[in-house]
Amino acid sequence: MIGNPKLLGMLFAGMVLAGSCRGEDGAKASISSSSDKGVPPRIFQGTVNSQKLQTAIAKDVRSARVSNASIRAASGEEIEGMELTLQKYRTAFDSLSLPQMRQVWPGLDRRRESALKDVFKFLRASSAAPNLGLECAPPNVIGDTAKIACRETLSYSDDKGKSKTAKAAMVSISLKKQADNWVVDTMKGLGSAD
């Protein structure tokens, strides 16, 4: 069992968020939050300034061999679909459900699945359900893939009922269009958001 909140934060920011990349200390998000209680806050709320996201998009453009003209802002309908997918990701995490996680992230690899199992095991031992926060900048679309920069937070209670918050992390999320739905394709940690 993971008993150290600092260790949980490292595991959360590192392996769950696919964090093999270390971010710059200056990576910050400027995002507002919803004040409506009982209603999940909108995920696409503001802008996330990240040089690493721009680099990731440039790399995707080079690997896909598309021109800069092929990068476009998502339509309103696409944003609604992406928002639904990211809400399902949050729900799967908050429910500590690997089956739900696999539905929204069908390409989840064994390493990340193992990390999720460890985090879920730790959180099940807590006295209250976790709350994964996800605040994202508007997505950029390249073909059938969307690149999204997000600030991810995690609040939970320790085994004594004391509220804890893992260190916020910046992540780059790629969503892929499958039929009429979006699914998580990849996640890369961009480092601390604080």
Contact criterion met (CB below 8 Å) for 140 and 173: no
Write down the pTM of the prediction: 0.73
Q: Which one-letter amino acid corresponds to residue 148?
A: I
- Fill in the DSSP letter of residue 161: S
User: CB-based burial of residue 33 (10 Å sphere; 0-12 exposed, 13-18 middle, 19+ buried)?
Assistant: exposed
**Cα distance between residue 40 and residue 43, in whole Å:** 9
> How would you classify the pairing of strands 131-136 and 145-157?
antiparallel
Report the domain count for the chain.
Answer: 1
**pLDDT score recorded for residue 129:** 79
- Please check the confidence at residue 135 and state whether its pLDDT lies above 60: yes
Quick check: 65 pLDDT over 80?
no
Q: Give the distance from CA 129 to its chain's centroid.
A: 18
For residue 13, how far is the Cα from the chain centroid? 10
Other beta carbons less than 10 A from residue 69's beta carbon: 6
pLDDT, greater one: 156 or 88: 88
| CA–CA dist 21, 14 (Å, integer) | 8
Domain that holds residue 73: 5-192
Indicate if the pLDDT at residue 92 is higher than 60.
Answer: yes
Q: What is the pLDDT of residue 180?
A: 87
Q: Considering only 13-27, 47-61, 81-95, 115-129, which range has the smallest mean pLDDT?
A: 13-27
Q: What CATH number is associated with residue 123?
A: 3.10.450.50
Among 116, 121, 137, smallest CA distance to 52 is for: 137
